[in-house]
Amino acid sequence: MKPCPGNPWFPLVLLLVAGWVSGCRTAAPSAVTDVTPSPAVEGDLAARVEAFVRQTHLHGVPYEAAREFGAGAIPILEAMLADETEMSTWPNVVVTLAIVGDGRAGQRLIEFIRQDAVRRLSPSHCMAKYSALMALGYLVNHTSDPASLEFLVQAARPAYWEALAPRWSSPYEYTSVTRNLQLANMAMLGLALSGHPDAIRALESMREPELDPAGRQLQAARSGLLDEALEASRVIAQDGLTEYYRRAGREHSAAPATPAP
């Protein structure tokens, strides 16, 4: 598969509300829809949650629709995330889990992100890891979970991934350096989505001048994304996620397209 197109310097709002581009889709879930039925329809909760995450949401997982499931969806989503036969749904599962989850669900998402395996991940598995990093911002937004927030603060710097040295490889990049940068960028988007005061301070600290040449080069390369993340985080902190997406012209949240280095 070709690397997923994308550019981290596009306006952050596009990354947050745009769905996966068609070239990144894999093993499509059973239904394709751009108008998601409300989770409030009649029927068994498990069946409704499973149907929801198996859809291909053309503009990303609808934020308000996912919130309607409530905490009762947590064990259902966690079970799907533990089932490799559901791998094609994992990008939607992790985002939905973060939207409805609590601190325990946050820990489960962190474990999923950090899970190591000496193998080349499938496209769905890889996208789910990236999506989970960004989606933790939703969880922090409504829970202020300190462990999830601290993880995002650390993970937003490529040095964290360099020290962790994951053994898995991605189908979208060719080097561990590129992979680590992409993971850090997804965590930066997660900080932005959280709108948390400590997340904003962490983003602001990334503007402090780096001392070594390599650090300055990396800082310059990420400056556009950082500016967009800070702008979005301040709006979200003031007005909330629902209003942020309303202003963006949609009511959807989304796993962003994997950014290019």
Beta bridge partners of residue 56, listed in sequence order: 32
C-alpha span between 26 and 260 (Å, rounded): 18
Position 31 scores a pLDDT of: 36
Render pLDDT for 75-102 as a digit per residue (tens, 0 to 9).
Answer: 999 999 999 999 999 999 999 999 999 9
Query: In a 3-state reduction of DSSP, which class is residue 62?
Result: strand
Question: Residues with Cβ < 8 Å from 121, sequence gap 6 or more?
Answer: 129, 168, 169, 170, 171
- Within the chain, how many helices (H) and strands (E) appear? 13, 2
Q: Which two tokens stand for residue 215?
A: 């650090």
Position 172 scores a pLDDT of: 79
Domains in the chain with CATH codes: 12-247 (1.25.10)
Q: Which two tokens stand for residue 170?
A: 């991605």
Position 25 scores a pLDDT of: 36
Q: Report CA torsion sign: 75, 88, 16, 69.
A: negative
Position 213 scores a pLDDT of: 85
C-alpha span between 254 and 241 (Å, rounded): 12
Position 210 scores a pLDDT of: 81
Please, are residues 48 and 69 in contact by the beta-carbon 8 Å criterion? yes
Position 33 scores a pLDDT of: 37
C-alpha span between 199 and 194 (Å, rounded): 7
Question: Residues with Cβ < 8 Å from 257, sequence gap 6 or more?
Answer: 4, 5, 6, 15, 18, 20, 21, 24
Angle subtended by helix axes 90-100 and 74-81, to nearest 10: 150
Task: For 8-39, give one letter per residue: b (16+ CB within 10 A) or e.
Answer: bebebbebbbbbbeeebbbeebeeeeeebeeb
Q: How far apart are the first and last CA of the chain?
A: 17
> What does each of the 261 residues of the chain score in pLDDT, given as a tens digit?
333 433 333 344 434 433 332 223 333 333 333 334 444 443 599 999 999 999 988 878 999 999 999 999 999 999 999 999 999 999 999 999 999 999 999 999 999 999 988 889 999 999 999 999 999 999 999 999 999 999 999 999 999 999 999 999 888 767 889 999 999 999 999 999 999 999 999 999 999 888 888 888 888 889 999 999 999 999 999 999 988 888 876 544 444 444 444
Render pLDDT for 8-20 as a digit per residue (tens, 0 to 9).
Answer: 333 444 344 333 3
